[in-house]
Amino acid sequence: MSTQAVGYFGEFGGQYVPETLMPALEELTREFEAVRNDPEFQNELQALRQSYSGRPTPLYFAERLTQYAGGASIYLKREDLNHTGSHKINNTLGQILLAIRMGKRRIIAETGAGQHGVATATVCARFGLECHVYMGEEDTRRQALNVFRMELLGAKVHPVASGTRTLKDATNEAIRDWVTNIESTHYIIGSVVGPHPYPTMVREFQAVIGREAREQILEISGRLPDAVVACVGGGSNAMGIFHPFIDDREVALYGVEAAGEGVDTPRHAAALTLGRIGVLHGAKSYLLHDEDGQILPAHSISAGLDYPGVGPEHSYLKETGRAQYVPMTDREALDAFVKLSQLEGIIPALESAHAVAYGIKLARELGPKAQIIINISGRGDKDVAEAAELLEKGGFQL
C-alpha cells in the first residue's frame, strides 16, 4: 500500500514525540527496514513462531456456530492457541529479536488487560533481558492474575496511578521511561499505535495471521472469504489479519470497536465510529477528545479495547473505505462470549467476543453461500472471573 509521506498512511500516523526520542525512532526505523527483508532474521523469527509459539495456528470451521447463525460459513482463526494465549506474542517475538540486534538490554512495555505485558515478559525471560511493564492501577486490580504471571516470568510491574489509571496512562508512563532511559532501552509497543515505525512494524509482525489465514481458507474451500472480522482497540490483531487481504478487493474487512454501554452514551471506546482526528501517543489518528483536545476516558468491559485512540492505518482504511468499522456493546460481546463457549467449546477473550458478536450478525446478513473468517485474537481464561460477575449482573442465564 502506498503511503504519502514516510511514516504516514494518508494524513494519519507520523511522529509526534519529544525531540529526545527522535534519534531513537530514526535508529529503530533503520534497523526495522534492514531486517524486513533479511532472510536470516526472518528465518530465526519463523523458527521461533513454530517451535516456541506453536504456529501456524489453525483455521477452524465453526460448524455449530454456523448453524446457530444460520447464514454464512464461519471460520475462526485460532490466535488464542498461541503460546501465552493471544496474538500478542507474534509482535513481541519480532521486536525482541530487533532489540537484541540493536544491543538494547532493557525492555519496557505498556499493557491494558495484561496480554501484551505477559507476551513481553515471556520473550524477555526466553532471551534473558530485563523487563519493566507499565500497567494502570485500575487494570492491575482487574487483572491481578496477569500481574502475577508477569512477576513469575521475572518482570517488574509498575502500577500507574496518573490520569484514568488505565492503558492510556500506562502508555504515557512507558514513553516517559523511554525518554529517560533511551540509551539502554527498547520500548515494545503492543499495538499498531505510537509514532512511526511502530504502526508499520507491529503490523508486519502481526501480518503472519492474515498470511496463514489466506492460505488456509484457499486450501480448505478453494476460494477467498467474503469477509474478515476482527476486534479493534489499538488494532493490531485486526491489522495483522487484514493486511494480506488488502489487495483482494472482493474480501470485505470489518473492524469491531467496543461500544461499551452504547454509542449513544459517553461510556464507550469507539474512536473510529465517534471520534475526531487528533494526536495521541505520537500518531495522528481518530481519537476520543473534547473541543480543547483533552483526551476523554474510554470505556469497555474488555480492558484490551479500553483505549481512546486507534492505530493510524485503521483511520486510513476507514477514510478510504477499504475497511468498515462497527461498534458492538458490552452486552452483545458478553452474549457472544457465552455463545462461542457453549456452541464450540472455545472461550474467547472479551476483546475477541466483540468480533464474534458482529460475525454472527454478518453471517446472517450474507446468507449461506458466503464464508467469513473471524479472528479469535485471544483466549478468555483471563476474563472468566470478571465475566461471571458481569453475567450475573446482566441477568444472563447460562
Residues labelled catalytic: 88, 110, 377
With CB under 8 A as the contact rule, which of the stretches 245-253, 292-300, 341-349, 355-363 interacts with another protein?
A: 292-300
Please report, as residue ranges, which positions from 155 to 184 form the binding site for another protein (by CB under 8 A): 162-163, 168-169, 172, 175-176, 179-183
Task: Answer positive or negative: Cα dihedral of 179, 185, 190, 196.
Answer: positive
With CB under 8 A as the contact rule, which of the stretches 12-20, 151-159, 324-332, 349-357 interacts with another protein?
A: 12-20
* CB contact burial 374-387 (16+ within 10 A = b; e otherwise): bbbbbbbebbeebb
Contact status: 280 vs another protein (CB under 8 A): yes
Question: What CA dihedral angle connects 111, 112, 116 and 117, to 10 degrees?
Answer: 50
Contact status: 276 vs another protein (CB under 8 A): yes
SS3 label, residue 13: strand
In the chain, which residue ranges form alpha helices assigned H by DSSP? 22-36, 39-48, 63-69, 88-101, 115-127, 137-142, 144-152, 167-180, 198-206, 208-221, 236-242, 271-274, 312-320, 330-344, 350-366, 384-393
Strand partners, 371: 73
Contact status: 266 vs another protein (CB under 8 A): no
In the complex with another protein, which residue's Cβ is closer, 13 or 348?
13
Choose, by CB under 8 A, the member of 9, 10, 15, 310 that binds another protein: 15
293-332 footprint of another protein as x/- string (CB under 8 A): xxx-------------------------------------
Contact status: 103 vs another protein (CB under 8 A): no
CA 370 to each of CA 66, 90, 109, 226, 386: distance values in angstroms, whole numbers, following the listed order: 11, 29, 40, 6, 35
Which residue, 350, 368, 378, is CA-closest to 74?
Answer: 368
In the complex with another protein, which residue's Cβ is closer, 15 or 122?
15
In the complex with another protein, which residue's Cβ is closer, 214 or 284?
284
In the complex with another protein, which residue's Cβ is closer, 3 or 342?
3
In the complex with another protein, which residue's Cβ is closer, 195 or 240?
195
Contact residues toward another protein (CB under 8 A) are 14-24, 26, 162-163, 168-169, 172, 175-176, 179-183, 276-282, 284, 287, 289-295
